[in-house]
Amino acid sequence: MHGVVNWAVHFFMLDEGPLIWLSDFLIICASLGILAVLTKFRLWKWLWDEWLTTVDHKKIGIMYMIAAILMLFRGGTDGLLMRAQLAWPNMHFLNADHYDQIFTTHGTIMILFMAMPAIIGFFNVAVPLQIGCRDVAFPYLNAISFWLFFFAALLFNLSFVVGGSPDGGWTSYPPYVENQFDPGPGENYYLVALSITGIGTIATGINFLVTILRMRAPGMTFMRLPMFTWSVFVTSVIILFAFPVLAVALALLLIDRDFGSHFFTVDGGGAPMQYVNLFWFWGHPEVYIVILPAFGIFSEVISTFSHKRIFGYSAMVVSMVAIAILSFITWVHHFFTMGAGPGVNSFFGVSTMAIAIPTGVKVFNWLFTMHKGRIEFKTAMLWAIGFIPNFLIGGLTGVMLAVPPADYQYHNSYFLIAHFHYVLIGGTVFGVFAGLYYWWPKMFGVLLNEKLGRWHFWTFMIGFNVCFFPQFFLGFMGMTRRMYTYPAGYGWGVVNLISTIGAFLMGVGFIILVYNILWSARYGERDVTGDPWDGRTLEWATTSPAPHYNFAIIPTVKGRDAWWLMKQNGESINGPKGVPFRPIHMPNNSGRPFIMSLFFFILGAGFVFQWWILAIIGFVGVLVCMAQRSFEYDDSHYIPVEEIEKTEAAAGRL
Partner 1 sequence: MEAKEHKFHREEGFPWKHILGLFLSLLLTAIAFWLALATHQPPALVITIIVILGVGQLLVQLYMFMHFTESDDRAWQVPALYFGLFIVFCVVGGSIWIMTFKSIVA
Partner 2 sequence: MSNAHTAVHGEHHPVDPNVPLEYQGEENSLRVIGFWLFLAQDMILFSSLFATYIVMHGRVAGGPTSQELFDVTGFTIETIALLFSSFTCGLATYEMRRGHRDAMIGWILVTMALGLVFLGFEVTEFIHNVGEGATLQRSGFLSAFYILVGTHGSHVTVGLLWVTLLIFQLLRRGITPVTARKVFLWSIYWHFLDAVWIFIFTVVYLTGKVI
Residues that bind partner 1 (CB under 8 A): 213, 237, 241, 245, 271, 273-274, 277-278, 281, 328-329, 331-332, 338-341, 344
Q: How far is the CB of 261 from partner 2 (least distance, A)?
A: 4
Q: Is residue 261 part of the contact set for partner 2 (CB under 8 A)? A: yes
Cα angle 5, 168, 355; round to 5: 150
Q: How far is the CB of 214 from partner 1 (least distance, A)?
A: 8
Give the Cα separation of 641 and 647 in Å (integer): 10
Q: How far is the CB of 346 from partner 1 (least distance, A)?
A: 12
Binding string, residues 163-202; x marks residues near partner 2 by CB under 8 A: ---------------------------------------x
Q: How far is the CB of 119 from partner 1 (least distance, A)?
A: 21
3-state secondary structure of 343: helix
Q: How far is the CB of 122 from partner 1 (least distance, A)?
A: 24
Q: Return the one option of partner 2, partner 1, none that residue 267 interacts with (CB less than 5 to 8 A, by type).
A: partner 2
3-state secondary structure of 14: helix
Q: Contact with partner 2 (CB under 8 A): which of 218, 339, 389, 652?
A: 218
Closer CB to partner 2, 285 or 502, in the complex: 285
Closer CB to partner 1, 30 or 213, in the complex: 213
Give the Cα separation of 654 and 648 in Å (integer): 6
Q: Is residue 77 part of the contact set for partner 2 (CB under 8 A)? A: no
The CA distances from residue 140 to 151, 209, 587, 626, 636, in Å, are 17, 15, 8, 12, 11
Q: Contact with partner 2 (CB under 8 A): which of 248, 406, 462, 497?
A: 248
Q: Is residue 217 part of the contact set for partner 2 (CB under 8 A)? A: yes
Please write down the HEC assignment for all residues of 167-230: CCCCCCCCCCCCCCCCCCCHHHHHHHHHHHHHHHHHHHHHHHHHHHHHCCCCCCCHHHCCHHHH
Q: Is residue 340 part of the contact set for partner 2 (CB under 8 A)? A: no
Question: What b/e sequence results for 28-67 when a residue is b if at least 16 CB atoms lie within 10 Å of its CB, and e otherwise?
Answer: eeeeeeeeeeeeeeeeeeeeeeebbbbbbbbbbbbbbbeb
Identity at 445, one-letter amino acid code: G
> 586 pairs with which residues across the strands?
637
266-295 residues near partner 2, rule: CB under 8 A: 267-271, 274, 278, 281
Q: Is residue 580 part of the contact set for partner 2 (CB under 8 A)? A: no
Q: How far is the CB of 543 from partner 2 (least distance, A)?
A: 19
Q: Return the one option of partner 2, partner 1, none that residue 218 interacts with (CB less than 5 to 8 A, by type).
A: partner 2
Q: How far is the CB of 10 from partner 2 (least distance, A)?
A: 28
Q: How far is the CB of 206 from partner 2 (least distance, A)?
A: 5
Give the Cα separation of 354 and 341 in Å (integer): 20
DSSP for 449-475, written as a single string: PHHHHHHHHHHHHHHHHHHHHHHHHHH
CA dihedral 557, 559, 562, 565 (to 10 degrees): -110
Q: How far is the CB of 344 from partner 1 (least distance, A)?
A: 6
Closer CB to partner 2, 17 or 583, in the complex: 583
Q: Return the one option of partner 2, partner 1, none that residue 344 interacts with (CB less than 5 to 8 A, by type).
A: partner 1
Mention every residue, 6+ apart, whose C-beta is less than 8 A from residue 214.
Answer: 137
Q: Return the one option of partner 1, partner 2, none that residue 339 interacts with (CB less than 5 to 8 A, by type).
A: partner 1
Closer CB to partner 2, 164 or 198, in the complex: 198
Q: How far is the CB of 245 from partner 2 (least distance, A)?
A: 5
Q: Return the one option of partner 2, partner 1, none that residue 487 interacts with (CB less than 5 to 8 A, by type).
A: none
Work out the burial of residue 493: count CB atoms within 10 Å of its CB; fewer than 13 is exposed, 13-18 middle, 19 or more buried: middle
Give the Cα separation of 338 and 351 in Å (integer): 18
Q: Return the one option of partner 2, partner 1, none that residue 654 interacts with (CB less than 5 to 8 A, by type).
A: none
Query: Which secondary structure element, helix H or strand E, spans residue 375, and what is its range?
Result: none
Backbone phi and psi for residue 636, each to the nearest 5 degrees, phi listed first: -150, 165
Peptide bond into 389 cis (omega under 30): no
Backbone phi and psi for residue 387, each to the nearest 5 degrees, phi listed first: -60, -40
3-state secondary structure of 596: helix
Mention every residue, 6+ apart, whose C-beta is less than 8 A from residue 284.
Answer: 327, 328, 330, 331, 333, 334
Q: Return the one option of partner 1, partner 2, none that residue 328 interacts with (CB less than 5 to 8 A, by type).
A: partner 1
Q: Return the one option of partner 2, partner 1, none that residue 338 interacts with (CB less than 5 to 8 A, by type).
A: partner 1
Q: Is residue 434 part of the contact set for partner 2 (CB under 8 A)? A: no
Peptide bond into 175 cis (omega under 30): yes
Number of residues that bind partner 2 (CB under 8 A): 58
Q: How far is the CB of 557 from partner 1 (least distance, A)?
A: 19
**Which residues of this chain interact with partner 2, rule CB under 8 A?**
133-135, 137-138, 202, 205-207, 209-210, 213-221, 240-241, 243-245, 247-249, 251-252, 255-256, 259-263, 265, 267-271, 274, 278, 281, 554, 582-586, 623, 627, 630-631, 633, 638
